[in-house]
């Protein structure tokens, strides 16, 4: 047994499930199963496991939970769809306390439900993603859950509930619960609306200012139209730099129309 633990990769991350049978501490293999661990951590942060039950118990094998419907057919991943299996050569169902994703008995169908083994379960190797292990003496609380009486469908006759869950060590510092994302979006919308109002006020001020500038331009244009046009002889007598003096100048009040904007 000691060899098994020596060959096992180190954990990175820890959560606790507060159940009606006592706390269950779970250390995470977040490097070996990053998707499963990220999914599990975020669901806990969002309260998705609160008040759910362990709906299936098979004595000597495992306890299964995490379904918000309590039927064994519900639950969804944080991505809104199943995610891929994550198998690692150093993670096997070699002893009790393995925490793994439940699936639909087909590859890459992991969502929200999970199970905890009560003993060695080598037949599960390569079929279910191991993403954590129960640590310390809290394994005995799991074993107590595994001893409850069940009906013919492996449903516990006594309710075993996850009253709440906490993330004690989050290995993913970029996780933002989806409920907080909605709040941030609402705040951003309020900020954007305020910025839009400020921009409208700036536009109104610019429009007022431009109107005043345009009135000055009209006066200048009027002054330009009243200036007498010099005769060709006078122009030749005193030429302006860079201006041709041959030919007739255009008569007053004749202006080139600007090109139409395409």
Q: What is the structure's pLDDT at 144?
A: 98
Q: What is the structure's pLDDT at 76?
A: 97
Q: What is the structure's pLDDT at 246?
A: 41
Please classify residue 17 by burial: count the beta carbons closer than 10 Å to its beta carbon, then call 0-12 exposed, 13-18 middle and 19+ buried. buried
Neighbours of 83 (CB within 10 A): 18
**Residue 45 dihedral angles phi and psi, to the nearest 5°:** -60, -30
Q: Taking the model in full, what pTM does it have? A: 0.70
Q: How far apart are the first and last CA of the chain?
A: 81
Counting every residue, how long is the chain?
262
pLDDT tens readout for residues 232-260 = 554 444 444 444 444 444 444 443 444 45
Neighbours of 255 (CB within 10 A): 10
d(CA 49, CA 133): 18
Contact 74, 68 (CB under 8 A): yes
Residue that the structure tokens 């910025």 belong to: 195
CA-nearest of 63, 39, 62, 45 to 53 is 63
Q: What is the structure's pLDDT at 179?
A: 80
Q: What is the structure's pLDDT at 191?
A: 78
**96-126 in b/e burial notation, b at 16+ Cβ within 10 A?**
bbbbbbbbeeeeeebbbbbbbbbeebeebee
Q: Which two tokens stand for residue 219?
A: 């006066």
Q: What residues of the chain score a pLDDT lower than 70?
A: 1-6, 181-185, 209-262
Q: What is the structure's pLDDT at 193?
A: 81
d(CA 96, CA 165): 21
């Amino acid at each position: 047994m000691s060899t098994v633990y020596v060959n096992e990769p180190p954990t990175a991350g820890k959560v606790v499930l507060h159940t009606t049978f006592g706390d269950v501490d779970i250390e995470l293999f977040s490097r070996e199963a990053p998707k499963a661990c990220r999914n599990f951590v975020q669901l806990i942060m969002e309260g998705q496991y609160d008040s759910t039950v362990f709906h299936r118990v098979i004595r000597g094998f495992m306890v299964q939970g995490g379904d918000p419907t309590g039927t064994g057919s519900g639950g969804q991943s944080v991505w809104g769809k199943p995610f891929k299996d994550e198998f690692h050569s150093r993670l096997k169902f070699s002893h009790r306390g393995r925490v793994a994703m439940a699936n639909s008995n087909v590859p890459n169908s992991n969502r929200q439900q999970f199970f905890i083994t009560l003993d060695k379960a080598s037949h599960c190797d390569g079929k279910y993603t191991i993403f954590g292990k129960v640590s310390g003496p809290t394994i005995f609380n799991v074993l107590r859950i595994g001893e409850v009486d069940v009906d013919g469908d492996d449903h516990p006759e006594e309710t075993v509930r996850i009253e709440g869950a906490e993330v004690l060590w989050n290995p993913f510092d970029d996780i933002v619960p989806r409920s907080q994302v909605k709040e941030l979006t609402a705040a951003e919308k309020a900020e954007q609306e305020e910025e839009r109002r400020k921009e409208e006020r700036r536009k109104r001020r610019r429009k007022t200012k431009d109107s005043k500038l345009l009135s000055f331009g009209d006066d200048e244009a009027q002054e330009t139209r009243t200036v007498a046009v010099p005769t060709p002889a006078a122009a030749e007598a005193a030429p302006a730099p860079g201006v041709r003096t041959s030919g007739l100048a255009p008569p007053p009040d004749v202006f080139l129309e600007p090109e139409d904007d395409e």
